[in-house]
Amino acid sequence: MTYELLTLVFFLIVIVAASELFTNAIESLGARLNFSEGVTGSLFAAVGTALPETMVPIVAIVSGNASHVSEEVGVGAILGAPFMLSTLAMFLTGVAAWRFKQRRGSLAITPEPTGYKRDMEFFLFCFTLAFLVAFTPHDYRLVRVFVAVILVITYFYYVMETVKASEALVKSGHSTEDGKGLYLSRVFKEHMFFTVVQLIFSVALIILGAKGFVSGVQGLAAYMRLPIVALSLLIVPVATELPEKINSILWIKKGKDTLAIGNITGAMVFQGSLLPAIGIFLTPWTINLTVMSSSVITIMAAGWLYLLAFKRKSLKPAHLLVNGALYAVFTGIVIFMALRQ
């Protein structure tokens, strides 16, 4: 028990340090390439920090474990990642805005509105489609493959639309700013090469930290005799989503709201399209009652965020309490289901 806890603390420190290096490198890269904060947050940062949780379901599916274990952990982790981002990650972002309100000068979180709406629209379309296709008969394999291909195409279309909008956003004042300067430039000269080196190193450190943290979580879960579904839907996603949460908190602290929110919503699009496509290709893609509950709550949380994009010019911590409450509801469902087994 003590070993598992010390492992969690050590790798949490590794993830925090790696996330600081990563956000610094991403800001430098976005500024050097003259991209908008939307591209930097929703594409560069989102995909980079999504690597740990991308690896978990793939490894679970192809690892050679018992088929039911691989499928439960794989499908649970795929659908659990967007659930964590849309509920817990958004709630913690609101908590961070409240915690740093004096430094920020305002409680309001104001991401660039067009990019925020675009992210939520693409996510809701992709995730809902991936969720609904699980209810099609297994004999309809071609339908499932067709949906998987649509999900992949949709993500690349999303990338094109995000990049296309970048130039106009830069002209309107939403360019990425390199606030601190690259950390490596304090030792070496300013150059794109060292930006890429720091970026690659920080991503590798994030993956290492996340894998170590997940290993510690799995050891703790085994010690506490938690069920597989609780591990795949609650515990593993909490661990693997730490980079997004920490990155967004760091950016909220600095008042860079577009980067903070885009880091989360961009990861939601990535994990709501490409990862389900992989799951549909490699697994029977069936869901049980618990997974279905998490998916419905994910759609509710994302729908609430999308509604806020139309009704409000900014997000406030009070708005994101709803997302925290939805996370608490599902946690209660998982505990209730586990106790019944």
Looking at the predicted structure, is the pLDDT value of residue 53 above 90? Answer: no
Can you give the pLDDT at residue 121?
Answer: 95
CA angle 225, 228, 229 (to 5 degrees): 125
- Mean pLDDT computed over 296-302: 96
Q: What pLDDT band is residue 227 in, cutting at 50, 70 and 90? A: low
Looking at the predicted structure, is the pLDDT value of residue 153 above 90? Answer: yes
Q: Which positions ≥6 away from 338 have C-beta within 8 Å?
A: 226, 227, 229, 230
Q: Which tokens is 165 given?
A: 């909008």
Can you give the pLDDT at residue 205?
Answer: 84
Of 22-36, 142-156, 205-219, 302-316, highest mean pLDDT:
142-156
Q: What does pLDDT average to over the chain? A: 80
CA distance 155 to 268: 11
CA angle 153, 156, 160 (to 5 degrees): 135
297 vs 51, residue with greater confidence: 297
b or e along 251-287 (b: 16 or more beta carbons within 10 Å of the residue's beta carbon)?
bbebbbbbbbbbbbbbbbbbbbbbbbbbbbebbebeb
Q: Which tokens is 171 given?
A: 């002209």
CA distances from residue 34 to 202, 252, 262, 276 in whole angstroms, order as listed: 21, 21, 17, 32
Can you give the pLDDT at residue 305?
Answer: 95
CATH assignment of the domain containing 100: 1.20.1420.30
CA distance 194 to 210: 24
Q: What pLDDT band is residue 32 in, cutting at 50, 70 and 90? A: confident
Range of the domain at 138: 2-177+185-340
Can you give the pLDDT at residue 69?
Answer: 46
- Please state the domain count of the chain: 1
CA distance 273 to 271: 6
Q: What pLDDT band is residue 64 in, cutting at 50, 70 and 90? A: very low
Secondary structure class of 315 (helix, strand, coil): strand
How large a percentage of the chain has pLDDT more than 90?
26
Q: Which positions ≥6 away from 341 have C-beta within 8 Å?
A: 227
Find the range with the poorest average confidence among 117-121, 153-157, 313-317, 334-338: 334-338
Can you give the pLDDT at residue 231?
Answer: 59
Query: Which residue, 258, 271, 279, 261, is CA-closest to 298?
Result: 271
Helix ranges (DSSP H) in 85-227: 90-99, 101-104, 113-133, 141-164, 166-171, 192-224
- Mean pLDDT computed over 188-214: 79
The widest CA-to-CA distance across the chain, in whole angstroms, is 61
DSSP secondary structure letters along 66-112:
-HHHHHHHHHHHHHHHHHHIIIIIHHHHHHHHHHTHHHHT-S-B---
CA 43 from chain centre, in angstroms, equals 11
Looking at the predicted structure, is the pLDDT value of residue 318 above 90? Answer: yes
Q: What pLDDT band is residue 17 in, cutting at 50, 70 and 90? A: confident
Cβ atoms within 10 Å, residue 332: 10
Looking at the predicted structure, is the pLDDT value of residue 60 above 60? Answer: no
CA distance 182 to 222: 41
pLDDT tens-digit readout, 253-277:
888 888 889 889 998 999 899 889 9
> Quick one: three-class SS letters along 35-65?
CEHHHHHHHHHHHHHCHHHHHHHHHHHHCCC
Q: What pLDDT band is residue 279 in, cutting at 50, 70 and 90? A: confident
Can you give the pLDDT at residue 1?
Answer: 65
- Mean pLDDT computed over 289-299: 89
- Say if pTM beats, i.e. exceeds, 0.75: yes
For the chain, give the number of residues: 341
Strand partners, 36: 175
Q: Which positions ≥6 away from 151 have C-beta within 8 Å?
A: 126, 129, 130, 273, 274, 276, 277, 280
- Mean pLDDT computed over 290-299: 89
Whether the Cβ atoms of residue 110 and residue 255 lie closer than 8 Å to each other: no
Whether the Cβ atoms of residue 28 and residue 191 lie closer than 8 Å to each other: no
pLDDT tens-digit readout, 90-136:
999 999 999 999 888 888 999 888 889 999 999 999 999 999 998 98
Q: What pLDDT band is residue 157 in, cutting at 50, 70 and 90? A: very high
How large a percentage of the chain has pLDDT more than 70?
76
CA angle 6, 324, 231 (to 5 degrees): 45
